[in-house]
Structure 1
Amino acid sequence: MLCIARAQHFDFDASRKKLSIPFRFVRNSVIVPVNINGKGPYNFILDSGVGLMLITQPNLVDSLNIDYKRLVKIPGLGDGDDAQAYITGQIDVKIAGTQGYGISAAILKTDNLNLSGFVGMPIHGLIGYEFFNNLVVQINLADTTLNIYRPKDINRIRKKGDRIPMVIEEKKPYIFTKVTLPDGSSSLNKLLVDLGAGHALSLDYLIQKKGMPDKFIAANLGVGLNGPITGFIARAKQLDLGTYKIHYPLTSFPDGNNTNIRPSIPRDGNIGMEILKRFKITFDYSGNAVYLKKAAKFREPFEHDMTGIEYYASGPGLQHVIISRVEPGSSGYEIGLERGDEIVSVNFKPVYRMSLEEIDNIFKSKHERTVLLEIYHSGKAEMVVLTLRRRI
């Protein structure tokens, strides 16, 4: 195991004890600059839920002069066939002052994820285990900075936070913790600590074991390597994280139609960025621990979209916002919004001057708030009034 860990890892100048790397935080994604084979920087999402660097833009193969060894199938969640990817030989990878050693990657044959459309800016891939396995990585969302240390220098980090034991299995980090459901029942759960998941909490297979909580909504939970992930959203009563208690987090419950293959490592679900962003997070893979220190947003309520519409960025410069789904019975559905409609402006502000995150924040801002949308529908523009309605 140690040989594998050393085979693919990152390090920085031996004369330094600490390295600070700025990042962008957009739509619950930590985005770092990555240079590959002397070109870039490219935008990669830091994702502790991936065990192999993943390049999601197939056109980078030619521009980076990457040699690949073979075509493989990648199983995973989603309502579709297995994704296909090319496995590369060793490539030269740098992340803002760090150097990768022995790094290889998988390059998607087709960009099934459309991360650029989801985030609203060009995204070229995901990087996880290789960046964490040889370093201590502290993620400070207050100043959007990664503070990087070597494991031998972890004691230099003041106020690391509450230590939670963590196990690394097949290059992914897991913790064991208690989840309490609305009916008061609780259980110890094995959860993946997943920086790449935008949601708060996801509990796999619980529908099959216990059924759904009384109050829930149907939802598209995201996109996996094999297509859309469908299911439901409800609220757990409480999640314990060390000494911290997370009350009424929004919780995703994937339905049984998504699982073409169960994870090779049995687990009960994952903790995503909607919870993790409420902490300063320090990952210490070699010490089998994650440290959490309460941040300013710790007590912010968990709110879900109040429109029932899902959307993505598209077109030149990702400046067009297209509706991909409308939940039946939602306020968006009731005013006639449809898949394929384009949102042109929100409260008279053109969407090309807004980020998707700004739109998200408006759409989950306040129950009974009215929002004026300009929509391009059936070949013509029209103004509609949308009333936000809390659904869960």
Structure 2
Amino acid sequence: MYRITCIARYLFLSVCILSLSVAVSAQQFSINENQKQVKVRFQIVRDMVVIPLFINQKGPFNFVLDTGVGLMIITDPTLVDSININNRHILKMYGTGNDVVFEAYATAHLNISINQKLIGEDISAAILKDDHFGLSNYAGMPIHGLLGYEFFSNLAVKVNFMDSTLTVAKPGKFKPLKRGIILPIGVEEHKPYFTTKILLPNGKYTTKKLLIDLGAGHALSIESWPPYAGIQKKVIAANLGVGLTGPVNGYISRVGELYLGKYKFTGVITSFPDSNVHVNYIVPRDGSLGMGTLKRFLLVFDYKNQRMYLKPNTRFKEPFEHDMSGMEYYASGKDYEHIIVSRVESGSAADEAGIEANDQITKVNFKPVSRMTVTEIDNLLKSKENRNILIEVYRNKVFETVVLTLKKRI
């Protein structure tokens, strides 16, 4: 997703850490005995669920809540000193060819606290020696890491995207949601999976095993599919994310139908990674279901009982839309107040408006980007076809305002 460029909405980070050369034991979170449940507020940032937490009584630090990772990962290497981690050893991260791509520190005995009522003791983590993923630049705010299986393993977690709250309780304490469903899941190697029916672009139904990936920004990704075969005419060649060995390229199109129990979605925007991207997953799968779909429900994850509750929220019937500008961008600067264009797709609205890679966007519709979040810019650029947006760019010490007319590309 990031290679000094920000690949806009498809966060593949959580599916690309393949293996660790040293086994690291994972511990669990628990709530105080006198609490029946605990509420935690979160932010949705570019379709990431971000929560504040404390590590070894230091913080708060911003972590992405991610069902797609089986081990707590600290992506900001500066935390090694700030949280006083002394006892650590080297982990080697491997790429698809079994070559060492980069190294991380393994550490144990971290004490994590969330909201003072939700505690994780002796939590193990991997700390990247270098920030390879640039999550802070992607989000436009400091992001310090990813929290996954340890948080979900011993608790039931309700995720309400309408009021941005998590409700955490002991397993079995949540009743089935009225007018909702129970979706059976399997938790394998610390990650949740389910099997479902999909109508592929070639008009044929198929059954796919998908990772339920709260840390992925896409609606759906199908990885066991050749890049061109059967994909409809409207298709975008795109950078879909970042892997251990660099950017993951592929295509974006739509599938005809996607089923989650009794719920059916049509025209779902789907990522198709290149067929030459071979990932030897410990648990074989065909793809992943991400935030583009999950955020349309009130969710309850219950790993202990191998199930997930789903109830549609007010976003359920919203159409699946993709960026209509054709440009990718990221935040930079001390306070992430600068927006830098990293890539412009040929023939897109941004290309026709004359926007170029490395341009700095300074204003959108006369509003300085320093007063906007990256998420606000994202939403504006996929809001409505044929909408005119005024973009002020800074290039070669000159400010220029251009008219960008949004157009659907898929």
- 1:161 Cα deviation from its structure 2 partner: 2.8
1:217 to 233, 236, 239: 236
Q: Give the corresponding residue for 2:173.
A: 153
Mean Cα deviation higher: 328-337 or 170-179: 328-337
1:294 aligns with 2:294: no
Which residue of structure 2 lines up, in the alignment, with residue 369 of structure 1? 387
* Alpha-carbon distance in structure 1 between the residues aligned to 2:24 and 2:79: 26
Equivalent residues in 2 for 1:352-363, closer than 5 Å: 352-363=370-381
Could you tell me the percent identity over the aligned residues?
50
User: 1:336 maps to what in 2?
Assistant: 354
Q: Which residue of 2 aligns with 1:231?
A: 250
The alpha-carbon distance between structure 1 residues 42 and 225, as it changes in their structure 2 partners (threshold 3 A), is: farther
**Aligned residue in 1 for 2:4:** none
Unaligned runs of 5+ in 2: 1-22
Contact 2:227 2:273 in 1 (8 A): no
Match of 2:68 in 1: 49
- Following TM superposition, where does structure 1 have runs of at least 4 consecutive aligned residues deviating by more than 6 angstroms? none
Which deviations, in whole Å up to 9, do the C-alpha atoms of 1:339-382 show, x marking residues without a partner? 21100001111000111111111111111111111101123211
C-alpha distance after superposition, 1:143-179 (max 9, x if no partner): 1110111014234x65383111101111110000011
Contact 1:160 1:282 in 2 (8 A): no
Alignment check: 8 A CA contact 1:179 1:189 kept = yes
Deviations 1:233-253 (A, max 9, x none): 000001000110011110000
Deviation of the 1:6 alpha carbon: 9.6
The one-letter amino acid paired with 2:271 is S
Matched, 1:63 2:76: no
Is this contact kept in 2: 1:112–1:227, CA < 8 A?
no
1:140 equivalent in alignment to 2:164: no
* Rounded Cα–Cα distance in structure 1 between residues aligned with 2:235 and 2:100: 28
Question: Retained in 2: the 8 A contact 1:5–1:133?
Answer: no
Which residue of 2 is the match for residue 312 of structure 1? 330
Structure 1: which amino acid aligns with 2:266? H
Distance 1:256 1:182, change over 3 A: closer
Distance 1:49 1:160 in 2: 27
Q: Given residue 72 of structure 1, which amino acid in structure 2 is its aligned partner?
A: L
CA RMSD across the alignment = 2.1
Which of 128, 132, 153 pairs up with 1:108? 128
Aligned residues of 2:227 and 2:272 also touching (Cα < 8 A): no
Q: 2:26 touches 2:150 (CA, 8 Å); kept in 1?
A: no
Shift of 1:257: 4.3
Structure 1: distance between partners of 2:26 and 2:100:
31
> What is the rounded CA distance, in whole Å, between the counterparts of 2:102 and 2:207 in structure 1?
32
8 Å contact 2:177–2:311 — kept in the other structure? no
Letter in 2 for 1:23: F
Letter in 1 for 2:27: Q
Cα deviation, residue 262, structure 1: 2.3
CA apart distance, 1:81: 6.9
Equivalent position amino acid for 1:182 in 2? P
Query: 1:201 — aligned with what?
Result: 220
Q: TM-score, normalised by structure 2?
A: 0.90
TM-score by length of 1: 0.94
8 A contact 1:9–1:131 mirrored in 2: yes
- Matches of 1:162 and 1:299, distance apart in 2: 17
Q: Secondary structure at the match of 1:318?
A: coil
Shift of 1:389: 1.1
| 2:148 matches 1:128 | yes
Richer in helix (by share):
1
